[in-house]
Amino acid sequence: MNTKAVIISLIILLIGLQSWGMRVCGIITDESGAPLPGTSVYIKSTVKGTISDMNGYYELMVKKGDILVFSFVGMIKQEIAVKDQWKINVTMKADNAGLDEVVVVAFGKQRKEVLTGAMCKARPMFSNVGYSYGMQPCAPAIQNKRGSEDYAIIRENEYKMVHQSPVSTFSVDVDAAAYSNVRRFIMSGQKPPQDAVRIEEMINYFSYDYKMPQNKHPFSINHELAACPWNKDNLLLHVGLQAKKIATENLPASNLVFLLDVSGSMSNANKLPLLKRAFKLLVNQLREEDRVAIVVYAGSSGLVLPSTSGKEKKKILDALNRLQAGGSTAGGAGLKLAYKTAREQFIDGGNNRILLATDGDFNVGASSNSEMERMIEKERESGIFISVLGFGMGNYKDSKMEVIADKGNGNYAYIDNLLEAKKVLVNEFGGTLFTIAKDVKIQIEFNPAVVAEYRLIGYENRILNREDFDNDKKDAGELGSGHTVTALYEIRLTKNESMSPSGLRYQHTKTSKKADLKNEIAYIKFRYKKPEGKKSILIKEIIPNTSIDNNELSDNYNFSAAVAGFGMLLRDSEYKGKCNFDMIIDMAKNAKGEDEEGYRSEFIRLAKLTKELYSSVKID
């Protein structure tokens, strides 16, 4: 090859290298020096980006002159111009902005692969403004583990024929873990497991503007009926409960036991370090009359802080700061010690509750669900409730967490970042910790003269037998101070005016005169007990057969329908009808309302990102 050809080849190579750019990497930390997994890093005015791994490490191919944007929920966004440097470490500082001004970035579930200095297999690089699909540079000597996550199987509710099953009975559910967990998957560029998508928890993650109770009952009843957005031939019935809200200063004294998992599996930044920061937010809400004890468990369990007045915040915070992760997971022993500690400080008429924080990986002692259920069911009769906060991913045991909260008369939330902790432990302090009604059940009888079939959307693991409604020994869900509960039914109307029989040889269905009037679509009943009560209280109400025009529907109706549609798309439900991402985004936008905390705005952003991810990138 002659000299001229060599020069031309070198020029072409240099041009190619220049267009390819340079590799920039670094570590992202908070002000304390702790790594920030899940920080979004992207090139300004583009959709090319990535997120930091569990060690706060990131890498990205850039060109000189590019501006890198670093964004993490609750932190001040930073912009740094790329010059000749190849390493850019960033310290993120806390921001007091509201959720509407930031984008939530959840911790991602990583693929299992040993990273070398080489290029990894192509995979999505997801950021808070989009994604790019291509070769992702990898950090040397860092190993990301996928692990295994456990979810209870959900078999989606089917349509029920009113002539054969006129009554629908279920327990209320105020758990909200599914939404933040699903968000974590999506923000890491992955499709959430189908069984992780519990639609009722996604709907109930959000609060709704229902009227406050005005009578002797601790909650109000709200309902609306209109054409189903994804199937205009059907109706969608919206039922909402609003629990009475009690001012913090009027809440009864609390006897709290923090039951904290400090096993080796909790060492990652989004587990014990995040847990400690989350519980510090809660400690700041405590009053002098409140008491806190801290029980930890790893290879064995132990009491690291005896019951202490909420006035001694420094003592409680110092105990949290000393916690370190290591050892196996003696979850069963930890539960026993926590209940023993709670009993010793029991407050008559007060709020006696265990707050369990873990990734759910119980692997020593009473580890089976059945053993834990029996222990928790026995203890709840004494008036000690248990709520669960889930952390982390990879080995996350959602199924066990849900069982503990359900059987322990508590609620279940998943904490994927500090602002989620603030939502659960500060903004919803009363709802998380203080029960105002327990064993709340709903039973709806549909009018066969109007309704041919109905389908309850979600609540698959809360379905009760018809006879369970009147059985006060049957456990059901709890309502906390200020909680809202929303349920949706999709309804197929009766088209044959003559009313077909049940199809049985020896029995025929005969409707009553009240049904034949057709001015009622359903009859709804509720049962609940007071927090310390043994006998349930019954409420009954008629739902009129009055369909509301779409222009008159409330934001409550439209937003809950948008979230339900989103859940059906994530589950690829056979009942999603004509539902699509554009539809739910438009519905959510129009139903955003005041949105003071910005949670609905966050949902809209999440739906937009999901639309782009699902339409352009094949995810496994």
Q: If we measure between CA atoms, which residue out of 179, 247, 245 comes closest to residue 209?
A: 245
Q: Which range has the worst mean pLDDT, 88-102, 306-320, 453-467, 574-588?
A: 88-102
Q: Are residues 389 and 494 in the same domain?
A: no
CATH number of 513's domain: 2.60.40.1230
The pLDDT of residue 66 is: 93
11 belongs to a structural domain: no
Task: Using pLDDT thresholds of 50, 70 and 90, give the confidence band for residue 6.
Answer: low
Residue 311, in any domain of the structure:
yes
Q: Name residue 444's beta-bridge partners.
A: 168, 524
The answer, yes or no, to whether residue 505 has pLDDT greater than 60, is yes
CATH number of the structural domain spanning residue 124: 2.60.40.1120
Domain stop point among 427, 458, 474: 427
Give the per-residue pLDDT at 114.
26
Asked, for residue 152, whether it belongs to a domain, the answer is no
Asked if residue 135 lies in contact with residue 456, where contact means CB atoms within 8 angstroms, the answer is: no
Angle between helices 555-571 and 581-590 (to 10 degrees): 160
Q: What is the rounded average pLDDT of the residues 480-492?
A: 96
**CA nearest 343: which of 387, 300, 381?**
381
Question: Domain check: are 529 and 410 in the same one?
Answer: no
- 22-31, 74-83, 512-521, 567-576: which has the minimum mean pLDDT? 512-521
| Same structural domain, 411 and 288 | yes
Do 485 and 599 have their domain in common? yes
Mapped onto helix, strand or coil, the DSSP state of residue 264 is helix
In this prediction, residue 441 has a pLDDT band, given cuts at 50, 70 and 90, of very high
Provide the pLDDT for residue 175: 93
Residues 356 and 383 in one domain: yes
Final residue before a domain boundary, out of 407, 427, 447: 427
36-40, 192-196, 417-421, 455-459: range with lowest mean pLDDT: 36-40
In this predicted structure, which of 17-26, 108-117, 166-175 has the lowest mean pLDDT? 108-117
User: Does residue 226 belong to any structural domain of this protein?
Assistant: yes
Same domain? 415 vs 485 = no
DSSP state of 253: P
Residue bearing the bigger pLDDT, 47 or 64: 64
Has residue 135 got a pLDDT over 80? no
Q: Structurally, how many domains does the chain consist of? A: 3
Full-model pTM: 0.78
CA neighbours within 13 Å on the CB side: how many for 460? 14
The more confident residue out of 491 and 377 is 491
pLDDT above 90: residue 167: yes
pLDDT at 471 over 70: yes
Distance CA 117, CA 54 (A): 17
The overall average pLDDT reported for the chain is: 83
Indicate if 195 and 301 belong to the same structural domain.
no
Helix (H) or strand (E) holding 43: strand 40-43
Q: What is the pLDDT of residues 348-398, one digit of tens each?
A: 999 999 999 998 776 545 556 677 788 888 888 889 999 999 998 878 888
Q: What percent of the chain has pLDDT over 90?
A: 55
In a domain, 8, yes or no: no
Q: What is the CATH number of the domain that holds 281?
A: 3.40.50.410
Check residue 76 and give its pLDDT: 86
Range of the domain at 122: 18-144
Closest CA to 252 of 436, 523, 507: 436
- How many whole angstroms from its chain centre is CA 504? 44
**102 has a pLDDT exceeding 90:** no
Short-list 426, 105, 434, CA closest to 279: 426
Phi, psi for 488 (deg, rounded to 5): -125, 135
3-state secondary structure of 588: helix
> Do 137 and 165 share a domain, yes or no?
no
In sequence order, the 6+-apart residues with CB closer than 8 A to the CB of 505 are none
Q: What is the pLDDT of residue 8?
A: 57
The pair of structure tokens assigned to 120 is 């990894």
Is residue 368 classed exposed, middle or buried when 0-12, 13-18 and 19+ CB atoms within 10 A define those classes? exposed
Contact 22, 89 (CB under 8 A): no
Least confident of 151-155, 248-252, 339-343: 248-252
Residues 399 and 312 in one domain: yes
Mean pLDDT is lowest, of 47-51, 127-131, 223-227, 228-232, for: 127-131
- Say whether both 237 and 263 belong to one domain: no
Distances from the Cα of 11 to the Cα of 3, 147, 548, 589, angstroms: 12, 47, 70, 52
Please enumerate in sequence order all residues whose Cβ is within 8 A of that of 211, keeping only pairs 6 or more positions apart, or say none.
Answer: 220, 222, 242
Indicate whether 399 and 421 sit together in one domain: yes
- Which of 375, 394, 427 is the C-terminal boundary of a domain? 427
Complete DSSP assignment for 122-162? PEEEE-SS-EEEE--B--TT-EE-----B-----PPPPEET
Q: Is residue 126 part of a domain?
A: yes
Averaged pLDDT for residues 461-487? 95
